[in-house]
Amino acid sequence: MEVKGTAALYPGTFDPVTYGHLDIAERCVRIFDRFIMAVAVNPTKEPLFDVDERLEMLRAVTGDMAGVEVDRFEGLTVEYARKRGAQVIVRGLRALSDFEEEFKMAAANRKLADEINTVLMLPSEKYFYLNSSLVKEIARLGGPVECFVPPVVEERLREKLASRAY
């Protein structure tokens, strides 16, 4: 299935980007003409990596994916979507526990911009449980993360954690 003429926005903190994020991205580039992965600058969150580091990692791991644009944004997602000409906001839905929050966000976005639709994408089964917080916690405790993130992300994660005192 392809949605001709449609641009989709996949917003997130991507702190760090995981194989689950990339799984959704790989499927979206087959569906949408334009696909934008945008790193959100959210002052209420305290990410491990700064925005530039997250952008750099995201560009490194999507470089071979035709049709992926990587960007950053601040403020309302729907305003950024309008600015970039995106008609669709893509959100990953891992488990039932994600549904309520995603449902509320989609409803609010519809109220703010009813011309922009939200599409909830399920990751492949092997990534249902995966999120960035879990990856960071496993890495902090010295566990292996190569099955969760690409090598460049694993390396950056190890370097970042080694430079911080916990």
Residue 5 is predicted with a pLDDT of 75
Task: Express each pLDDT in 23-45 by its tens digit.
Answer: 999 999 999 999 999 999 988 88
pLDDT averaged over every residue in the chain: 92
Report, as residue numbers or ranges, the catalytic residues. Answer: 21, 45, 94, 132
Q: Tell me, what's the pLDDT at 100?
A: 84
Per residue in 55-79, pLDDT (tens digit) is 999 999 999 999 899 999 999 999 9
**The domain over range 3-129 is classified in CATH as 3.40.50.620:** yes
pLDDT above 60: residue 1: no
Domain coordinates in residue numbering, the chain: 3-129
| Long-range CB pairs of 119-125, under 8 A, 24+ apart, other chains included | 119/8, 119/88, 119/89, 119/90, 119/91, 120/91, 120/92, 120/93, 121/24, 121/27, 121/28, 121/90, 121/91, 121/92, 121/93, 122/92, 122/93, 122/94, 123/20, 123/23, 123/24, 123/92, 123/94, 124/23
Stretch 140-155: mean pLDDT, rounded?
96
Asked whether residue 2 carries a pLDDT value surpassing 70, the answer given is: no
pTM here? 0.92
